[in-house]
Structure 1
Amino acid sequence: MLIMNKLKPAFIGGLMSLTLAACGGSGSDESKSVPEVLTHADYRSMMTEFISEEVPGVVLLVESPEDRFLESYGNADTNIYRPLVTDDVMPVGVAGQKLIGLLAVMLAEDGLLDLDARVESFLEPSLQVHRGYSIEDIFEINPDIRLMTVRQLLNHTSGLKGIEEYDRLTRFSRALLAWDVSNTEYENHSFLAYDFYTPSGCDPGECWQFTDGGYGLVGLILTQVLGEHPAAEVRSRILEPLGMNASYYAGVEKDYGEIISGYFNSKREDRIIDFKPIYEDLALTSTPLHTSVEDLALLLKAIVTDSGSIDPDIREVMIGEGNMVTVGNNKHYAMGIFKEVINGTTLYYSNGFEPGYTSVNIYIPESDTSISAFFNGNSDIDNTSEHDELINKILLSVL
């Protein structure tokens, strides 16, 4: 039996905590209330009220066949007070993991990658990964890693032990700040130690635990399979065919665009840090995508819908009924995407929470509605309740 632990990417659990009562589902017609239908003026008002020293800017897209709202408010850079615009690009953190999941399945369909092959079959023990450490050293530190499969890594069922999100955010931000960017780019192997030097939380395939380390291993595997960094295949197979013209692979394709500033309020250190200079060079498979709200919405919709953009066999492997892992009541996960049924309506989503950057990415097939939002600020304490409130109001309006 697959065991689900309590770890989750922050901004997932709270965002999706809508209840039947909130939509009047108590069983009594008299007690039912009709959710308020939000107007463009309502969206603007909500965005205006959201801006603070901690979150200087918001971009919001709400799109359906009947209506489209795309606006920005606030600043992209508080030093020069450059206004945020709707096509600004930012890192979307783990919301970009579906990009890697999609590439892996595409390679599997072409016979270049076996999703159910073990890690040890791809990586030579002598492969140097970090400060003199080899793959064999990592296998010795955590022997279970050699037995994990690519599919398990992509679905977070490998057994790698996750870290509570806010502890992770604090530890990750400190690790990034301590790195000497002048010597090397931040590659996957540079942060393998981040998740791997602790015992696994369970045997491979026996539990679901969200952790970045698995996607770091996938990055190494893809590089070995392709003989080069996966960025080129991401561009030729996904970004260009889908028309994601504002998007590029983080840290590797820096010449394709520029990200906005992302402000991390370290309340433990009593300072606000702009993580833009670091994320410009950050090249991790766990956080691979720099994109716009429109491109992010496009990617999720292309994967979920039968629009001809993605081969049906690939979609089935990614999010087919039998390929998703149950991670909660009416909630499933696979290849970087959550699927949840709320008030009888199915939602697909993948949101990101990284130092200085928070992103929301939701698609509702029933109404063909996309909701994507960027916030270029957050902190090292649980401050997602404000984000949740804004997005919950939108969800209640469209569900």
Structure 2
Amino acid sequence: MKRVRQALVTATAALAVVAAPTAAAAEPKDELRRELDGVVAAHAVGALAEVRDGRRVWRGGSGVAALGTARAVPVDGRFRAGSITKTFLATVVLQLVDAGRLRLDDPVEAWLPGVVPDGRRVTVRHLLNHTSGLYDVLRTLPMPPAAEFYDNRWRTWTAEELVARALANPPTFEPPGAAYSYSNTGYVLLGQIITAVTGRSYGEEIERRIIRPLTLRGTSLPGASPWIRGPHPRGYVPAPPGSPARLLDYTEMNPSVMGAGGEMISTTRDLNRFFAALLGGRLLPDRLLDEMKTPGTETKKYGLGLAWRDTPCGITVYGNDGDAMAYQAYSFSSLDGRYQVTVAITPAFRGDPDDAVEAFVDKAICG
């Protein structure tokens, strides 16, 4: 889910968490190690990354796996991947398009009658590329230091509840397609559309269409389960006012609040493997991969669940980033699959880490 970190950083500008760098688990590249240590020193409790350059693979960790310990971050650890879930979901939607079971220009009304006001004008394409104008449900949810945020930690949210919260607000712009405005609401609706088309949940479809075929052993969609199975660093959010600590361990939480737009748990290996398969044409035909890479507006490098950025050495990389409150993840690959980088951090809320992580991505891609 996007924009979580901005809200939390504002609430915790004075945090001072010290995280010491750890050794990489594989043969180190000194430049990458220093860059990852820099991300942690400025913004994180811990970080882990996998960088691929052809057949060469570097995996590294920095910081600590849990505050108050010297335990190293597991370089094969799992983490909440946030909005990278959207790329998996969009891939399933496009596979259904390829099978003729759905069209990108189908109105939402055709699949979810009466759910979206004026749903005949909002299409599947609009939902995928964030040009629907539908109000973002994230803006309706409490964030620290609001007491309701902590009270909701174990609450199970339904897609219907999340959509209703969002659509109680007017659109951010009209008509649909006129502008770009990031909306998690659109992806909650896409999850419902997948169910309407297939008779199965979006989680089941992602599992059978992507996770199992690609052997992504560390990837799962937990639904309402609060646990992260297997090795993983602990994740934190700003603690409530008056707490003795400045950060609260928020590793276990009910991820249904993120739903189809962000509930996934994964690993650096699995995300690199997924994006290599996607961009290499193993999951979608060329015509639909081209659609995925087509921006919805001229002002934003975001297509159908896929983002991209230019690096200083002229290589364009494609992927996505995700914010899951106590975890943040970034995964990008070159089109030819030669260069790949995935990095995940447990933020310390000392500022927005995007610039520091993007510098790491640039170093990984450009050397």
Give the shorter-chain TM-score range.
0.7 to 0.9
- State the 1:180 CA deviation: 6.3
Contact 1:91–1:250 (CA<8 Å) still a contact in 2?
no
Change (3 A) 1:244 1:311: farther
TM-score, normalised to structure 1, is 0.73
- The answer to whether 1:196 aligns with 2:167 is yes
1:101 matched residue in structure 2: 90
- State the 1:82 CA deviation: 4.5
Alpha-carbon separation, structure 1, partners of 2:215 and 2:363: 30
Change (3 A) 1:265 1:64: same
- The answer to whether 1:315 aligns with 2:315 is no
Q: Deviations over 1:147-192 (max 9, x none)?
A: 31111101101112459x9x789748856533262xx523323322
Contact 2:80–2:266 (CA<8 Å) still a contact in 1?
yes
TM-score, normalised to structure 2, is 0.79
1:273 matched residue in structure 2: 248
Letter in 2 for 1:115: L
Alpha-carbon separation, structure 1, partners of 2:261 and 2:270: 18
Alpha-carbon separation, structure 1, partners of 2:65 and 2:348: 14
* Structure 2: gaps (5+ residues): 6-27
Change (3 A) 1:180 1:371: closer
SS in 1 for 2:47: strand
Contact 1:248–1:256 (CA<8 Å) still a contact in 2?
no
Letter in 2 for 1:234: I
Q: Deviations over 1:96-145 (max 9, x none)?
A: 200000001111222222322111221243xxxxxxxxx3xxx4xxx345
- State the 1:245 CA deviation: 1.5
1:325 matched residue in structure 2: 296
Alpha-carbon separation, structure 1, partners of 2:40 and 2:48: 11
Q: Deviations over 1:200-232 (max 9, x none)?
A: 122111111112111111112222222232211
| Greater per-residue strand proportion | 1
Alpha-carbon separation, structure 1, partners of 2:42 and 2:142: 19
Q: Deviations over 1:316-345 (max 9, x none)?
A: 3423xxx432443xx632222113444543
**Pairing partner for 2:338 from 349, 362, 368:** 368
- The answer to whether 1:263 aligns with 2:236 is yes
How many percent identity over aligned positions?
A: 20
Alpha-carbon separation, structure 2, partners of 1:215 and 1:371: 25
Contact 2:128–2:305 (CA<8 Å) still a contact in 1?
yes
Q: Detail structure 1 runs of 4+ shifted over 4 Å in the superposition.
A: 8-11, 79-82, 167-170, 172-176, 252-256, 266-270, 279-283
- State the 1:294 CA deviation: 0.9
2:208 matched residue in structure 1: 236
- State the 1:254 CA deviation: 7.3
Alpha-carbon separation, structure 2, partners of 1:345 and 1:54: 26
Contact 1:73–1:83 (CA<8 Å) still a contact in 2?
yes
**Pairing partner for 1:300 from 269, 275, 286:** 275
- RMSD over aligned CA atoms reads 3.4
- The answer to whether 1:153 aligns with 2:127 is yes
Count of residues paired in the alignment: 339
SS in 2 for 1:277: coil
Q: Deviations over 1:221-256 (max 9, x none)?
A: 222222232211111111111121110113267789
Letter in 2 for 1:288: E
1:30 matched residue in structure 2: none
* Structure 1: gaps (5+ residues): 1-7, 12-38, 126-134
Alpha-carbon separation, structure 1, partners of 2:162 and 2:350: 20
Contact 2:225–2:254 (CA<8 Å) still a contact in 1?
no
Alpha-carbon separation, structure 1, partners of 2:90 and 2:145: 25
Query: Which is greater in Rg?
Result: 1
Change (3 A) 1:294 1:269: farther
Contact 2:134–2:185 (CA<8 Å) still a contact in 1?
yes
SS in 1 for 2:101: coil
